[in-house]
Amino acid sequence: MALSNVLETPASGFNFENVSRNVALDGLLEGGHTKAPKPMKTGTTIAGVVCKDGVVLGADTRATSGEVVADKMCAKIHYISPNMYCCGAGTAADTEKTTDLLSSNLTIFSMTSGRNPRVVMAVNILQDMLFRYKGQIGASLILGGVDCTGNHLYTVGPYGSIDNVPYLAMGSGDLAALGILEDRFKPNMELEEAKELVRDAIHSGIMSDLGSGNNIDICVITKQGVDYIRPYQESEYKDKRQRRYKYRPGTTSILTEKIVPLELEVVQETVQRMHTA
């Protein structure tokens, strides 16, 4: 299924290979008595801010599956290229795979063309791909990066709409985070101020939204390089484990033991010479 749109135009039409698989799986699960597990969603608060020297991206670290927290230390800021990172909200698998695909395509592109990819190119590739799938790929992305044309922050919606903005929040906690950003954002902020602003925005999302929580990750992208601080701030509501969950060998008593030797004989042996320079 992986397509390299850089090297070849994708096949026309939509690729829904997994739909028949999902239907078959549902049928296998005893006619509806057992339900298929709900896909893991990143409940999420993600935010981004363009400042004087670069772009600051922030995210919480909670991933939910239904009402359960599936991952307390989920990484939502994905690597795209040395100068670009992308925060993802929505279905965790979709954001993960979409950003991986984008990253591979851009690496191939920079090798073949000899140029560093621009943020606007990444955005166009994302738009093409998400539009082709008509919203079936549930990925809401915040793409931020620094290239030769400046510092950029883009939002890409699941249906393929894009917008170039100076500050942004997405995910289920976006309204809370946006309140903080709308109040305190100023153009051309200093880096430290921008980091504090993003931290406060994510914190507000964590406090006001049930789908966001745990720690806060921050990623600072400047012309000099990237500072991926994970975690930037740990949750003050961490639980201390009451007992050890590792059990010594011998905790469970063995009742019976049966050893079956597997007899293998060599049927055929071929030697192939490899010519390596």
Partner 1 sequence: MDSQIKGVSTGTTILAVTFNGGVIIGSDSRASIGGYYVSSKTINKLIQVHDRIFCCIAGSLADAQVVTKAAKFQISFHSIQMESPPLVKAAASVLKELCYNNKEELQAGFITAGWDRKKGPQVYTVALGGMLLSQPFTIGGSGSTYIYGYADAKYKPDMSKEECLQFATNALALAMGRDNVSGGVAHLVVITEEGVEHVVIPGDKLPKFHDE
Clarify whether 251 is annotated catalytic: no
Q: Report the alpha-carbon distance of residue 265 to residue 63 in Å, rounded.
A: 49
Active-site residue (options: 44, 45, 64, 99)? 44
Contact assessment for residue 74 and residue 62, using Cβ atoms and an 8 Å cutoff? yes
The answer to the question of residue 224 lying near partner 1 (CB under 8 A) is no
For residue 183, give the 3-state DSSP assignment: helix
Q: Give the shortest CB-163-to-partner 1 separation in angstroms.
A: 5
Cβ closer to partner 1: 135 or 225?
135
Give the Cβ contact number of residue 203 at 10 Å.
Answer: 21
Q: Among 21, 23, 112, 163, which residue interacts with partner 1 (rule: CB under 8 A)?
A: 163
Do the bridges between strand 63-65 and strand 162-164 make them parallel or antiparallel, or are there none, so unpaired?
Answer: unpaired
Asked if 21 is part of the footprint of partner 1 (rule: CB under 8 A), the reply reads no
- Which of 107, 116, 159, 231 binds partner 1 (CB under 8 A)? It is 159
Residue 244 neighbours by CB under 8 Å, 6+ apart = none
User: Under the criterion CB under 8 A, does residue 157 sit at the interface with partner 1?
Assistant: yes
Closest to 117 in 3D by CA, of 145, 76, 78, 141: 145
Instruction: Residue 110: count other Cβ atoms within 10 Å of its Cβ.
Output: 15
User: Residue 167's beta-bridge partner residues?
Assistant: 49
The closest of 175, 181, 133 to 157, measured between CA atoms, is 133
| Subset of 116-155 contacting partner 1 (CB under 8 A) | 124, 127-128, 130-131, 134-135
Among 161, 186, 192, 224, binds partner 1 (CB under 8 A): 161
Comparing CB distances to partner 1, the nearer of 103 and 155 is 155
What is the closest distance, in whole angstroms, from the C-beta atom of residue 86 to partner 1 in the complex? 18
C-alpha 266/C-alpha 142 separation (Å) is: 56
Applying CB under 8 A, among 5, 65, 75, 160 the residue interacting with partner 1 is 160
Residue 159 beta carbon to partner 1: minimum distance, rounded to whole angstroms: 3
190 binding partner 1? (CB under 8 A): no
Give contact residues for partner 1 (rule: CB under 8 A): 124, 127-128, 130-131, 134-135, 157-163, 165
Q: Provide the annotated active-site residues.
A: 44
